[in-house]
Amino acid sequence: MNSTAQPYAIMAEFDTPADAMHAAEQIRDAGFRRWDVHTPYPVHGMDAAMGLKNSKVGYFTFLGGLIGYTSGMLMIWFMNMYDYAIVVGGKPLFNPLFSFPVSYECTILLASFASLGGMLFLNGLPKHYHPLLKNPRFKAGASHDKFLIAIECADPRYSPTETRKLLEAAGSKHIEMVED
């Protein structure tokens, strides 16, 4: 680490999901804003322990599906009725029934892209740099079998001594500072 490095966050490691969850409850109750729990898999109940609201991905999905269905129907109407009408087998030029299968597939297609894209957008991904990913302890644990809590130094409630005490009291056996 070079001398110009600024502290980014205080990072505490926990061995079990229960310990991390109880620590998260305390940090939530202490009123921290800029902090996160990093776990190798989604821990059930952690959203409530962190005080997170329901994810907004669904809005993206709905919008994607709506655009998919409408554009599917419009495409078929435009191609087979408006732009170049040809009678085939005496069937109507446009009808929502025969247009449904294709429009339906377009609904699913665009809604799926919107779900993945919305998730990445809300998460701010892809991200090519994150200070935590430089930390060897973090890399060895967060995607393996440890549960890490990082409280950013930029949080208004952060204090170098009090925050460390809080994490120690919550049962962390390893606490260290992560540099930016």
If the CB atoms of residues 3 and 172 are measured against another protein, the closer one turns out to be 172
Tell me if 163 contacts another protein by CB under 8 A. no
Tell me if 57 contacts another protein by CB under 8 A. yes
Alpha-carbon distance 178 to 12, whole Å? 10
Buried b (16+ CB within 10 A) or exposed e, 93-110: ebeeeebeeebeebbeeb
Among 9, 37, 166, 167, binds another protein (CB under 8 A): 37
Tell me if 84 contacts another protein by CB under 8 A. yes
If the CB atoms of residues 136 and 156 are measured against another protein, the closer one turns out to be 136
The count of chain residues that interact with another protein, using the rule CB under 8 A, is 78
Least spacing, CB of residue 51 vs another protein, in Å: 11
Q: From 5, 53, 25, 48, select the one nearest 153 (Cα to Cα).
A: 5
Would you tell me the crossing angle of helices 17-29 and 162-169 to the nearest 10 degrees? Answer: 140
Tell me if 33 contacts another protein by CB under 8 A. no
**Could you give phi then psi for residue 3, rounded to 5 degrees?**
-75, -20
**Could you give phi then psi for residue 9, rounded to 5 degrees?**
-160, 160
* Paired strand residues for 179: 7
- Footprint of another protein on 114-153 (CB under 8 A): 115-116, 118-120, 122-123, 125-130, 132-133, 139-140, 142-145
Q: Which helix (H) or strand (E) holds 3?
A: none
Least spacing, CB of residue 176 vs another protein, in Å: 16
Least spacing, CB of residue 133 vs another protein, in Å: 6
Among 7, 15, 134, 175, binds another protein (CB under 8 A): 15
